[in-house]
Amino acid sequence: MTVWLRGDHLVRHRGPLARRPDDPLLLIEAESFARKLPYHPHKLTLVFAAMRQFRDELREAGRSVHYRQVSTFEDGLAAHFEERPDDHLVTTEPQADGARERIEAVVTDHGGTVEFVPDERFVCSREQFDEWASDGRYRHEDFYRFMRRETGYLLIDGDPVGGEWNYDDQNRETPPEGWTPADPPTFDYGETVEETAEWVAKTFAGSYDDPPYGGDWADPAAFRWPVTRRQAVQALDHFVTHRLSDFGSYQDAMRGDEWAMSHSLLSTSLNLGLLAPDEVIERAIAAYEDGDAPLNSVEGFVRQVLGWREFLRHVYRREMPGLAEANQLDADEALPEFYWTGDTDMACLSDVVDGVRRRGYSHHIERLMILANFGLVYGVEPARLNRWFHAGYVDAFHWITTPNVVEMGLYGAGVFATKPYASSANYVDKMSDYCSGCPYYKTKTTGEGACPFNALYWDFLDRNEDALRSNHRMGLMYSHVDNKSDEEWDAIRERADEIRAMAREGDL
């Protein structure tokens, strides 16, 4: 019997590796994974360096590790079963049933057997979620409260601490003049990270043949993500000690000179299994109980990890494969090239895309209300933007980008989003400092120099009226639609067409 951990399941102190201390471990490092998309080099460095560090730490601890560096996962499994015929693999369940079926087929073809066990990178089991969602409805707030009751987190005698389940209304403040967040953590890397980064640059740069920019679109700054359990715990300590107290109030704010704000930067560690969700939640709650962090910060963080992350994982599991190609608004625009280059005069988009090109990261409001919002009102086909997110972000895996981008960002399926998150420049101006330095005018909808978000917003409502007007959450928006004259609509449509032409030609 062999424990097989895939590269984003580097869980040592729980799960199958901990429960079978005498069984060897199989890790497969497959280059084909890295050639599926033009991944950011930091994403590839993160995954491969974390796998190699995990291998080395286990071997130093006396564990037998079979480490296969191969072209494809099937090659790795074939080599394993050639060396260990009829072996029985124990591995964690994939996020989608289709992946499970493919794994079973490959293992069987090579003479082995495979057993799937629960994925302990999450709190909510399949059975818990399926029972909760037995009526077929997905409402995140209801699920979040369900999970609070199931775990007892931030509850006193069954009631929410502070009297409210959700403090989101306290998490939209603008940082005051002179406010500066704590610097993000840094780590002392050994040779493995440096060697892996060099290997990634040599092996995969330019290796992706499809447009637009092969593997060379990114402009990476210094690598700065945890690749070991020890570094991930250091990142958690840093967040709780230096950043959590300000996280809540300013979690929706955007500032051009502060890429990290007070966000946790723990998503990569959670998604690789270097940290467990319950441990990060309990550290945050302990900070509140010790008087070191306010309730709105801690509740907001718990909602992200216990609520949103768990919720999306199960929606993906249940709604695939259809979710990946969902497009209920029939959006058909190609992804503008500035998503890859950052070459646009729109200050918000230019800055956020530049952050992705340099770090493979931007925080959740920049993802939803800048990148996805533009794609939504512009009319980008959801699968195209999902592909870009999956390629560009260090914390991106298909199970997390697909519901976030296709459904939440582009309203592609209607399985849980109750309305499209479309916005004009007004939201961007309220929550950021981008508009003050932008050559486009935030208050203009039509004419030369008008902010593209404005005309595209109204054009989005106009062209999707048949699908959206009956939505009770869109009533106020359509009351404004009805107040516009024919002359205003002619100018809006003309400006929207002009913006699309500029975007296609690279002149926006």
Answer yes or no: do 20 and 103 share one domain.
yes
Answer yes or no: do 238 and 358 share one domain.
no
pLDDT tens-digit map of 193-209: 999 999 999 998 766 66
Please report the pLDDT score of residue 212 as a whole number: 59
Q: Could you tell me the residue range of the domain that residue 147 belongs to? A: 126-187+224-319
333: how many CB neighbours lie within 10 A of its CB?
15
Phi (first) and psi of residue 447, to 5 degrees: 90, 170
Q: How confident is the model at residue 144 (pLDDT cuts 50, 70, 90)?
A: very high
Least confident of 141-155, 204-218, 400-414, 484-498: 204-218
Answer yes or no: do 293 and 392 share one domain.
no
Answer yes or no: do 45 and 166 share one domain.
no
Answer yes or no: do 183 and 249 share one domain.
yes
pLDDT tens-digit map of 392-434: 999 999 999 999 999 999 999 999 999 999 999 999 999 999 9
Domain termination site, one of 61, 88, 117: 117
Please report the pLDDT score of residue 208 as a whole number: 63
Is there a domain that residue 414 lies in? yes
Computed over every residue of the chain, the mean pLDDT equals 95
pLDDT at 333 over 90: yes
| Strand, coil or helix: 79 | helix
**CA distances (Å), origin 391, targets 318, 357, 360:** 23, 11, 9
Is there a domain that residue 216 lies in? no
pLDDT tens-digit map of 55-79: 999 999 999 999 999 999 999 999 9
Answer yes or no: do 351 and 497 share one domain.
yes
- 254 and 431 Cβ atoms separated by less than 8 Å: yes
Answer yes or no: do 441 and 302 share one domain.
no
The overall longest dimension of the chain from CA atoms, in Å, is 76
Domain termination site, one of 319, 349, 377: 319
Please report the pLDDT score of residue 97 as a whole number: 84
Please report the pLDDT score of residue 431 as a whole number: 95
Reference 408, options 373, 380, 363; nearest CA is 373
Answer yes or no: do 30 and 170 share one domain.
no
| Strand, coil or helix: 384 | helix
Is there a domain that residue 325 lies in? no
Q: What is the dihedral of CA 121, 122, 128, 132, to 10 degrees?
A: -150
pLDDT tens-digit map of 221-240: 999 999 999 999 999 999 99
What CATH number corresponds to the domain at position 54? 3.40.50.620
Domain termination site, one of 289, 319, 349: 319
Is there a domain that residue 209 lies in? no
Q: What is the dihedral of CA 9, 11, 12, 17, to 10 degrees?
A: -60
Is there a domain that residue 326 lies in? no
Specify the number of domains making up the chain: 3
What CATH number corresponds to the domain at position 312? 1.25.40.80
Please report the pLDDT score of residue 478 as a whole number: 95
Phi (first) and psi of residue 170, to 5 degrees: -100, 5
Answer yes or no: do 444 and 417 share one domain.
yes
pLDDT tens-digit map of 248-259: 999 999 999 999
Q: What's the pTM?
A: 0.95
pLDDT at 215 over 80: no
Answer yes or no: do 108 and 133 share one domain.
no
Answer yes or no: do 113 and 130 share one domain.
no
Answer yes or no: do 407 and 448 share one domain.
yes
